[in-house]
Amino acid sequence: MNIETRQNKIIADFSAIQNWEDRYKRIIELGKSLPPMPENLKTEQNIVKGCQSQVWLFAQLNEQGQMLLQGDSDALIVKGLVGLLLSVYSGSAPAEVLATPPEFLKALGFEGNLSPSRANGLHSMLKQIKMYATAFDYLLKTKK
């Protein structure tokens, strides 16, 4: 499944939820279902700068050249936002991550309905994922 398809699925899932309180509950559920991040990956190097809460993101490439992302946060809603981003981007080629804008964030109205600090944190997480993708894309291109 490509990123655009995953985004469309999330848009469909969240569009069925009309009120923002229920959307927040769904985001928290996503965070609770996130696989635990190994403690040895919760390092200073993996902390996302620009988030009010503690957020860790770790990325690696698999043998197929896909980015595998792991993440965690000490705040429930933020952990859910981490889960949302991982569900869209993890398992994708770095070039696809770079080429596909995060349309689902605008479509769902996250920018206008999250607190300013959470919206900034969400953009910081997205920026970190794009930085990983840039590095991995360069690595893959120089290997050829």
Please report the pLDDT score of residue 117 as a whole number. Answer: 86
Rounded distance between C-alpha atoms, residue 82 and residue 109, angstroms: 17
Active site residues: 51
How many whole angstroms separate alpha carbon 70 and alpha carbon 38?
Answer: 9
> What's the pLDDT score for residue 144?
66
- Residues in CB range of 96: below 8 A, 6 or more apart: 2, 3
Range of the domain at 24: 3-143
What integer pLDDT is reported at residue 106 of this predicted model?
87
What are the mean pLDDT values of the chain's consecutive 10-residue runs (144 residues total)?
A: 94 91 92 94 94 93 96 94 96 97 88 84 94 96 82
Residues 6 or more apart from 12 whose CB is under 8 A from it? none
Q: What pLDDT is attached to residue 26? A: 94
Bridge partners (DSSP) of residue 72 are 56
Read off the pLDDT of residues 76-87 as tens digits, 9 standing for 90 and up: 999 999 999 999
Q: In this structure, what CATH number is given to the domain that contains residue 77?
A: 3.90.1010.10
The count of domains in the chain is 1
